[in-house]
Amino acid sequence: MSRKIWLDGKIVDEAEAKISVFDHGLLYGDGIFEGIRFYEGRVFRLPGHIERLYQSARVLLLKMPWTPEEICQATLETIRANGLRDGYIRLVVTRGVGDLGLNPYLCPTPSMFIIASGISLYPEELYEKGLEVVTCSTRRPTPASLSPQVKSLNYLNNVMAKIEALKAGAKEGLMLNEQGYVAECTGDNVFIVKKGEVLTPPVSDGSLDGITRQVIFELCAELGTTIREASLTRYDLYTADESFLTGTAAETIPMVKLDNREIGDGIPGPVSLRLIEAFQKLVRSEGTEVGVS
């Protein structure tokens, strides 16, 4: 079945959803995006995702021609048009059509499109067995260049790291910052459990401020599990009792091996499993109603 795409205010068939070759999103990666999940007819943390989209836009001086409420409604409309109850939304805003040459001021109108689709990032069995990850040599860019907190269309850095991981036979790659501290994985935030405490790098070490990451902080508070931010090195990961990754697409998944070394006992640990279970329950118990068309 052909997917229905929301493109600049209209729902169109996938085949008609086209962007100009002069769009600076394509020519220069000049644009931003969000990845959002919906479960059982409810969109998880929609306001948080839209807020982050606006923050990314603010940093890039990308003038959004839609209000947050309009984007929220467009997102729900796209899900309804595709008749989906569970899935993933990709919301993309590009600088729009301009001339050849970087000047963004020559692009008068940004474009926005919304895709609603199914997604399965990793094979189901890995959610039970855990994921093997390798450290990539590609580093996260420093905040002095492009802030890793901007969810921009410039993901080449992550793509290069992903290629390294895949070539090494792993499904995900760990990325360090310029100083050698752990930043995140190519599309997920990283957590370890050590002596009963949950630790994750501060965003200032080079990661995206993940919405799922924020949820883990909330769940730890609810479950009475200590959690704090700490700069981590690979030493900390190699000697951790447990580890897991979080992301909208990946959800929460145990990481059981790094660089061919077992983390803890090499199986998903009890603290990770408790958090993953609480996460799966939470995502099905709240959210913005998609509604019926």
- What value, to the nearest 5°, has the Cα angle with vertex 51 and ends 103 and 98? 20
- Given 18, 129, 151, 195, the catalytic residue: 151
Cα–Cα distance list, 15 to 1, 83, 88, 144 (Å)? 11, 18, 19, 40
Do the beta carbons of residue 64 and residue 121 sit within 8 Å?
A: no
Tell me the residue nearest to ligand PMP as measured from the CB: 210
- What value, to the nearest 5°, has the Cα angle with vertex 21 and ends 18 and 26? 90
Considering only residues 213-272, where is the footprint of ligand PMP by CB under 6 A?
Answer: 213, 246-249
d(CA 262, CA 8): 48
d(CA 111, CA 245): 32
Residue whose CB is less far from ligand PMP, 208 or 263: 208
Residue whose CB is less far from ligand PMP, 98 or 187: 187
One-letter amino acid identity for 244?
A: F
Task: Please count the other Cβ atoms lying within 10 Å of the Cβ belonging to residue 132.
Answer: 22
Stretch that binds ligand PMP, among 22-30, 97-105, 206-214, 236-244 (CB under 6 A): 206-214
Alpha helices, DSSP H only, in 104-263? Answer: 124-129, 156-167, 211-223, 234-238
Stretch that binds ligand PMP, among 22-30, 123-131, 205-213, 236-244 (CB under 6 A): 205-213
Spell out, one character per residue from 106 to 145, where the chain touches ligand PMP: x when CB under 6 A holds, - when not.
----------------------------------------
Stretch that binds ligand PMP, among 84-92, 208-216, 254-262, 272-280 (CB under 6 A): 208-216
Let me know if 151 is a catalytic residue.
yes
Q: Which of 212, 243, 252, 272 binds ligand PMP (CB under 6 A)?
A: 212
Considering only residues 177-196, where is the footprint of ligand PMP by CB under 6 A?
Answer: 184, 187-189
Give contact residues for ligand PMP (rule: CB under 6 A). 35, 158, 184, 187-189, 207-208, 210-213, 246-249
Q: Which residues are catalytic?
A: 151
